[in-house]
Structure 1
């Protein structure tokens, strides 16, 4: 069956909203109540000699984008944001009192819109961070940018603070699509913003693009990619819009009748991918593209690529400490998530209490399966027996290998000794295949049977 035929038969088993993205394992769906004292114990056990990563969630935006699936709130006044920054500083200090001055390798500001912070508040926040953590030799300091909320002053403040990578939320350059999702940002604004970054010496630039939005066609996708190529960002994330109005009520403002079909979505992704690859970008994993000199591709090429809550990353740290409401920390012993309600989060921090409410401890087997799934998600191939040996676990993968062998039989995978590699025909089903190794997901057998049924249709 050709790739085009597979795409035309693309059913809900491969739809993004149906399957985990595996930015963690076990996934956040498995989190339960977690005592903040357990997380505090994890923090205290971190060795000073090993670098960690830090994530900061800024849960505010000036305007609501109707496609948004992130945890955020709209603030028409800046005072709540300024008050939040003061609380965030307190959380930094509280964590550092437990960990000591840990060395930091990566910093990431997400949201929401981190660029909503005024320049002075951002610099003050980083100064607090610098006083309590060792951030002198950070490999990457990234911040997500809403181009509508930045100016030259902010951008130069980022540079002074040490930011060396920015991720611009572009989504699409088509005005009709921008109007349909309430995010209007003319190409002239992007050009001006890019020039400010260049002037400030920030050259590692990501573009976030979305397909599957209202009024997108192959022609508009082609135009957006061509405009993107003119700006030549070093890295591009090409995400499919997840329409979940039952979870995100504001997405009801995006009319169902305006959305492309599943077949059209796949055609949009295929076209965008082809245009990027033919213009020197390297395809990485599910949805990322990078120029050959970009650190993400270098890590991919050296088999050092990882997957975490920010997606694909070259970050080598085993620990990620999250700050802010809803932020998730990934620790050697488990995951911990802060309470998402901003007011409650702020009250807990003010009272000297842990903001952690959810999470779970991970077992040795969880860590093994995490490596198996991460390898599969990054490289479309995996040798589970070899990974089990690295973890010193005697596990035969009988059930899992049986399902993989079924996929080999229909041409979705190939087997080379103990290595299983997803073929071009099977890549469409990467996340479905990854569920085979998810010990908390009880539908993998049914999903694989449906893959087989489709291949025979």
Structure 2
């Protein structure tokens, strides 16, 4: 690898699942602001609901999610009450009723139990219109996915399941605190398909402790053998200053910048050879998948759930730490479960921070989203001059082409698209610490 590529790979930049990014959210956008934004939604606006369940049976050391380990039912039941109350609170503040998507994330959403999840869905269905629901998705831990749970999820209306596979090598699994042999994931996929949940995503990672290109290739080939519709391959973000459990990972076990880049590029070549269509930075799909179709039509999007063909007018975040996206800007709930429950119980939104978008934010956000999705964008004339000093080294390295106002990533430069996106980020200098670009 040339030294310039290595330097770009080591650069710390945001993942750009939003713009401006979450570190810039502030307390000035509070519960009252959120309530006013909901009230302003058009009655015909479409909604996407994101439900965050912040519980797991144990904490994996690699995890960067807002979650906690629980072994008692009481906090889960109390949290369920909060979710139900928040659904009702949202419904009472907006005239918009048309829900097009529901997405369960976590943590491990199934920690609520099937009866609890059924309560939530029934609560939503009683207050919103689900007749146009295009997708009902959930993130799953394969270790708890048996036949009974799979059948229950199908009855619930789940149409897409994302299984956290991460890696199938025993030494890597041990290092990240997540022991799940391949046969466990294989059985989970089989249970889902037998139950009628046909859309299967597998989530894997590169850059994990003890991982190398050969081990990653083995994991990807095993994942491919399960016939998933989508494979997401995320770069492990080592951020122990944000996630305390990551301090248990010995940094000497982590592959360096060069090894990470080699893993990412080897994986991309392998998956292309297996017939997958590369989507954006880290997704690979079957050619007829909805994401692949959206990418070909220039309609691929990016939000807090990653790459999407989402078209809803607003994303409503439900649960502690969840983030919502409305035409006016972003909102985020209280991350502490007890604080979240107590606030909702008082009949107030648990919004503790957010950000109202300016016209400049929207224009820059559009440029960054198209770069992250299409690797090419026509930049507004007034935004390009300030970005050129950052782009110039990438242009000289053959990673970026600038022709007039069009900025395009070359095939060689695509792994560094986050670095190019950062050239248009007016907030970047005010940000905190970020993970490596590759």
TM-score, normalised on structure 1?
0.90
* Equivalent in the alignment of 1:146: 141
Change (3 A) 1:245 1:443: closer
1:46 corresponds to 2:33: no
Q: Secondary structure at the match of 1:56?
A: strand
* Equivalent in the alignment of 1:5: 2
- Provide the C-alpha distance between the structure 2 equivalents of 1:249 and 1:231, rounded to a whole number of angstroms: 34
Larger mean Cα displacement after TM superposition, 267-276 or 403-412: 403-412
- Provide the C-alpha distance between the structure 2 equivalents of 1:416 and 1:101, rounded to a whole number of angstroms: 43
Change (3 A) 1:183 1:405: closer
1:100–1:133 CA contact under 8 A, matched in 2:
no
Q: Could you tell me how far 1:373 is from its partner in structure 2?
A: 0.6
Residue from 211, 229, 236 that aligns with 1:234: 229
Larger mean Cα displacement after TM superposition, 411-420 or 246-255: 411-420
Residue from 283, 290, 312 that aligns with 1:317: 312
- Provide the C-alpha distance between the structure 2 equivalents of 1:171 and 1:351, rounded to a whole number of angstroms: 40
1:101–1:134 CA contact under 8 A, matched in 2:
no
RMSD, aligned CA: 1.9
Q: Could you tell me how far 1:417 is from its partner in structure 2?
A: 4.2
* Equivalent in the alignment of 2:434: none
Q: Secondary structure at the match of 2:423?
A: helix
Larger mean Cα displacement after TM superposition, 34-43 or 97-106: 97-106
2:102–2:137 CA contact under 8 A, matched in 1:
yes
1:32 corresponds to 2:26: yes
1:22 corresponds to 2:16: yes
- Residue deviations 1:185-240 (CA, integer Å, cap 9, x gap): 12221121111111111111111101111221222112111111100111111111
* Equivalent in the alignment of 1:258: 253
* Equivalent in the alignment of 1:199: 194
* Equivalent in the alignment of 1:429: 416
- Provide the C-alpha distance between the structure 2 equivalents of 1:340 and 1:30, rounded to a whole number of angstroms: 16
Residue from 371, 376, 387 that aligns with 2:371: 376
User: How do 1:327-366 and structure 2 match up within 5 A?
Assistant: 327-366=322-361
- Provide the C-alpha distance between the structure 2 equivalents of 1:244 and 1:404, rounded to a whole number of angstroms: 27
Change (3 A) 1:217 1:132: same
Larger mean Cα displacement after TM superposition, 376-385 or 257-266: 257-266
Q: How many residues align?
A: 431
1:439 corresponds to 2:436: no
Residue from 83, 91, 99 that aligns with 2:86: 91
- Residue deviations 1:152-186 (CA, integer Å, cap 9, x gap): 22222221222111100000011121112111112
Q: Could you tell me how far 1:405 is from its partner in structure 2?
A: 5.6
- Provide the C-alpha distance between the structure 2 equivalents of 1:249 and 1:396, rounded to a whole number of angstroms: 38
Q: Secondary structure at the match of 2:395?
A: helix
**Gapped regions of structure 2 (runs ≥ 5):** 432-436
Q: Could you tell me how far 1:309 is from its partner in structure 2?
A: 0.4
TM-score, normalised on structure 2?
0.94
Q: Secondary structure at the match of 1:10?
A: helix
Change (3 A) 1:101 1:414: closer
- Provide the C-alpha distance between the structure 1 equivalents of 2:175 and 2:396, rounded to a whole number of angstroms: 44
* Equivalent in the alignment of 2:152: 157
Q: Secondary structure at the match of 2:2?
A: helix
Q: Secondary structure at the match of 2:232?
A: strand
1:67 corresponds to 2:54: no
Q: Could you tell me how far 1:410 is from its partner in structure 2?
A: 4.2
2:20–2:427 CA contact under 8 A, matched in 1:
yes
- Residue deviations 1:373-406 (CA, integer Å, cap 9, x gap): 1001111111013xx8xxxxxx464323565466
Q: Could you tell me how far 1:144 is from its partner in structure 2?
A: 0.3
1:100–1:132 CA contact under 8 A, matched in 2:
no
**Gapped regions of structure 1 (runs ≥ 5):** 389-394, 445-450, 452-457
1:111–1:144 CA contact under 8 A, matched in 2:
yes
Q: Secondary structure at the match of 1:24?
A: coil
- Provide the C-alpha distance between the structure 2 equivalents of 1:397 and 1:101, rounded to a whole number of angstroms: 38
- Provide the C-alpha distance between the structure 2 equivalents of 1:402 and 1:224, rounded to a whole number of angstroms: 40
* Equivalent in the alignment of 1:447: none
- Provide the C-alpha distance between the structure 2 equivalents of 1:275 and 1:418, rounded to a whole number of angstroms: 34
1:338–1:358 CA contact under 8 A, matched in 2:
yes
- Provide the C-alpha distance between the structure 2 equivalents of 1:111 and 1:315, rounded to a whole number of angstroms: 19
Q: Secondary structure at the match of 1:157?
A: helix
Q: Could you tell me how far 1:264 is from its partner in structure 2?
A: 1.4
